[in-house]
Structure 1
């Protein structure tokens, strides 16, 4: 099993509930295909560097997960089919990136507890 990180941008016209449903759909797809979700982060609404589909803002979301390589194709097909997704990128994490991600998670976890 490899560890991956995917960031996707959802259209800004969605309500909070629609956003949560869309994110839940993708995490469920991962779980149904045997992936283990390690971390999820909602980065919130952000201004994009350039307009995509005539939209200048988008709701950013990050999901870290462990999965077999064939799951990535299914996930990215689901992203392409969903009109709510503006952009996405999935990256395989190597050992140094995994260590960095763990440090980042621990650092943000401590801020939330304080």
Structure 2
């Protein structure tokens, strides 16, 4: 049974950004060879990391949307983690990704509602 997935990858910042998609394609063959499909590969480019990973402050982000079996997805994640080009990976089922975004938005809304309103003082 196939599911929709979203993969976020952080690659080493020293990599030429033009080679990110071709490098990812090598890994994504696991998905296509098992009958899955790659819907979208979105390279966000070099971004500052929230915290240091492997003594690096920056990384090249890429997001991949694909449909595959859970076995193929697990194999893709395993191969990515073995690569020295890859600093971090995160694979989510599309339903989980949507739920996570919705939960973040709700938390931000609740936080904004708790902030005290500015009080005007008459001079």
Relative to the length of structure 2, the TM-score reads: 0.72
Following superposition, the deviation at residue 16 of structure 1 comes to 3.3
Query: C-alpha separation between the residues in 2 aligned to 1:50 and 1:40?
Result: 25
Query: C-alpha separation between the residues in 2 aligned to 1:45 and 1:17?
Result: 11
**Structure 1 unaligned spans of 5+:** 101-114
The 5-angstrom pairing of residues 25-104 of structure 1 reads 25-94=26-95, 97=98
1:10-55, CA deviations, whole angstroms, 9 ceiling, x for partnerless residues? Answer: 0001123542331121222221122111111111100001110001
* Cα RMSD after superposing both structures: 2.1
Runs of 4+ residues over 6 Å off in structure 1: none
Query: C-alpha separation between the residues in 2 aligned to 1:72 and 1:32?
Result: 12
- More displaced 10-residue stretch of structure 1: 44-53 or 25-34: 25-34
The 8 Å contact of residues 8 and 61 in structure 2, kept in 1 or not, is answered as yes
**Structure 2 unaligned spans of 5+:** 102-123
Relative to the length of structure 1, the TM-score reads: 0.77
The 8 Å contact of residues 28 and 76 in structure 2, kept in 1 or not, is answered as no
Query: C-alpha separation between the residues in 1 aligned to 2:60 and 2:73?
Result: 21
